[in-house]
Amino acid sequence: MGERKQKGAAKKKEEVLRYGSKKVEQLLGVCGGPGRICVLLQDNPDPDALASAAGLRELVHAHLKKRVHIGYGGMCGRAENRAMMDVLHIDAHRMKESDLADYAVIGLVDTQPDSGNNIYPAKREAGFVIDHHLLPKRKRWKARFADVRPEYGATSTIVYEYLVASGVKLSDNLATALFYGIQSDTQDLGREATPAGARAYGELFNRADKKKLSRIRRAPVPAEYFQMLQDSLRTCVVAGSCVISFIPDCHNIDMIAEVADLLMRLEGMRSAVCYGVLDGEVHMSARAADARSNMAKKLKQVVAGIGTGGGHRVMAGGQIPLTDQPERRLNLLHQRVVRYFGGEQEPEPLTHATEDNGGVPLPPTLVEETKKDG
């Protein structure tokens, strides 16, 4: 590094630290009062959320000697995430909306009120919000302290800056968690990575316990993982430069995003969509190779009038409740997915295993009916 570049980096770091300690002061102001503190995550917390929560717990404990409870509304089903909690001792618990009454301060981390993926009542003012997702066009939520940085690739980077700026010593487990949080949210800095993320990643890399990381990333998966994978390939179609797959019987919501990421590797593809049925609801993940595809916009068109969804240009997600006629709803949904994501291109099966039904991934019951009709 040249001398001038070195000076520039040092100056930037100083700026980050100054800004971070100002934010920490405000955050501790909110947490310092009487009563219990809860960090609430999205219903299906990912490594970035778990690491950020662990970091904030350490931050609050170091400065205020107060304990922080970590909660989430849904399931933490992905094997890697369960292993992360286990191996790095991140104590997070499932909770119901009624449990929120036990806390004087509730902070949302890696999510926001009114985003549809957490149990926080949208209209109630939150204690704090620390997140890196885009703010809605018309923000309706309120918080006593908010630090939302959509330009960041991971919430873990924000929390790491807080810890460094306020002089908290990181345990090896926490350094490993934060490293993994940044690594997984940015796909090894390949996606939505910023100088701030790269700096944190670089500093944490030396501290992270590689053996533990390997145990987390290669955590054993149940047999149903392979069943879901098989289903996703059996129904998979290619429409133009978009690959689309459907998991009719999904046991783990994280599988949907995982399959979308996996299918993005298919050569020639500019986008990938996976959706699956879980507890009477369809969950959908969409990915794009670059911002030109605008997945958030397409996803909003797909769920218009039947569900909710949004996200970024290269990553988006949605939920569609199934009505009393689930087959009809799924058919409508599939047509919309092909129309908006596939650009009206004729869908072709990806593999020989794809059902012979014109390439349209239908739930098994409908496949039978279609065969009868034809």
CB of 348 to Mn ion, least distance (A): 34
Helix (H, G, I), strand (E, B) or coil at 311: strand
Candidates 38, 76, 90, 110; binder of Mn ion (CB under 5 A) is 110
Helix axes of 254-263 and 223-234: crossing angle, nearest 10 degrees:
50
State the Cα–Cα distance between residues 47 and 222, nearest whole angstrom: 19
CB of 48 to Mn ion, least distance (A): 3
Place of tokens 């990421």: 261
Instruction: Please identify, using beta-carbon distances, which residue of 110 and 231 lies nearer to Mn ion.
Output: 110
Instruction: Please identify, using beta-carbon distances, which residue of 155 and 183 lies nearer to Mn ion.
Output: 155
Class of residue 188 by CB neighbours under 10 A (exposed 0-12, middle 13-18, buried 19+): exposed
48 binds Mn ion (CB under 5 A): yes
State the Cα–Cα distance between residues 235 and 158, nearest whole angstrom: 39
Q: Bridge partners of 247?
A: 276
CB of 156 to Mn ion, least distance (A): 7
Q: Mark residues 54-73: x for contact with Mn ion by CB under 5 A, - for none.
A: --------------------
Number of residues that bind Mn ion (CB under 5 A): 4
CB of 62 to Mn ion, least distance (A): 23
User: In degrees, to the nearest 5, what angle opens at C-alpha 301 toward C-alphas 313 and 291?
Assistant: 15
**Looking at 18-26, 96-104, 183-191, 222-230, which segment touches Mn ion (CB under 5 A)?**
183-191
Residues 6+ apart with CB under 8 A from 307: 282, 318, 319, 320, 321
Instruction: Please identify, using beta-carbon distances, which residue of 317 and 342 lies nearer to Mn ion.
Output: 317
209 binds Mn ion (CB under 5 A): no
Class of residue 16 by CB neighbours under 10 A (exposed 0-12, middle 13-18, buried 19+): middle
Q: Which of 355, 89, 117 lies closest to 245 in space, CA to CA?
A: 355
Instruction: Please identify, using beta-carbon distances, which residue of 184 and 232 lies nearer to Mn ion.
Output: 184
Instruction: Please identify, using beta-carbon distances, which residue of 41 and 302 lies nearer to Mn ion.
Output: 41
Q: Mark residues 123-162: x for contact with Mn ion by CB under 5 A, - for none.
A: --------------------------------x-------
Displacement of CA 322 from its chain's centroid (Å): 23
300-359 positions binding Mn ion, by CB under 5 A: none
CB of 283 to Mn ion, least distance (A): 17
**Looking at 25-33, 86-94, 102-110, 139-147, which segment touches Mn ion (CB under 5 A)?**
102-110
Candidates 58, 147, 161, 185; binder of Mn ion (CB under 5 A) is 185
Instruction: Please identify, using beta-carbon distances, which residue of 118 and 155 lies nearer to Mn ion.
Output: 155
**Looking at 118-126, 177-185, 328-336, 356-364, which segment touches Mn ion (CB under 5 A)?**
177-185
CB of 55 to Mn ion, least distance (A): 13
77-113: b or e for each residue (b if 16 or more CB lie within 10 Å)?
A: ebbbbebbbebbebebeebeeebbeebebbbbbbbbb
CB of 261 to Mn ion, least distance (A): 14
| HSE (side-chain half, CA atoms, 13 Å) at 88 | 37
Please give the residue whose beta carbon sits closest to Mn ion in the complex.
48
Q: Which of 260, 253, 287, 262 lies closest to 77 in space, CA to CA?
A: 253
Kindly report the number of other CB atoms within 10 A of residue 313's CB atom.
16
CB of 368 to Mn ion, least distance (A): 41
Binding stretches for Mn ion (CB under 5 A): 48, 110, 155, 185
